[in-house]
Amino acid sequence: MDIRIGITNSPREISFETSQSAAEVEKVVAAALDSAATFFTLSDNRGSVYLVPVASFGYLEIGSEESRRVGFVS
């Protein structure tokens, strides 16, 4: 699943693929926003861990869980 995270006052976004489901990602982000947490963590398929500060969190875009097709569609 593709994840894109926007950070305020930053022209670039964090973009990576993860094996977590959309519900798991939403749950992690919502829990951090509802509590007094200072950051939340997400990990990608290669084992990298991303720490995102809640104070500068802009947006979260969750891509579809469907795999991409290769080739031409007729």
In this structure, are residues 64 and 24 in contact, taking their beta carbons and an 8 Å threshold?
A: no
Judge whether 71 lies within some domain.
Answer: no
In this structure, are residues 17 and 28 in contact, taking their beta carbons and an 8 Å threshold?
A: no
pLDDT of 66 reads 63
Judge whether 28 lies within some domain.
Answer: yes
Q: For the chain, give the percent of residues with pLDDT over 90.
A: 76
Using the predicted structure, report yes or no on whether residue 35 has a pLDDT greater than 80.
yes
Judge whether 38 lies within some domain.
Answer: yes
For the segment 35-58, the average pLDDT, to the nearest whole number, is 93
Using the predicted structure, report yes or no on whether residue 67 has a pLDDT greater than 70.
no
Residue 27 neighbours by CB distance under 10 Å: 12
Judge whether 73 lies within some domain.
Answer: no
> Domain containing 54: what range?
2-62
| Alpha carbons 4 and 63: distance in angstroms, whole number | 8
Judge whether 54 lies within some domain.
Answer: yes
Query: Whole-structure pTM over 0.85, yes or no?
Result: no
pLDDT of 68 reads 62
Region of residue 9 (left: phi > 0; alpha: psi -120 to 50; beta: else): left
SS3 of 30, please?
helix
What is the domain count for the chain?
A: 1
Judge whether 68 lies within some domain.
Answer: no
pLDDT of 39 reads 95
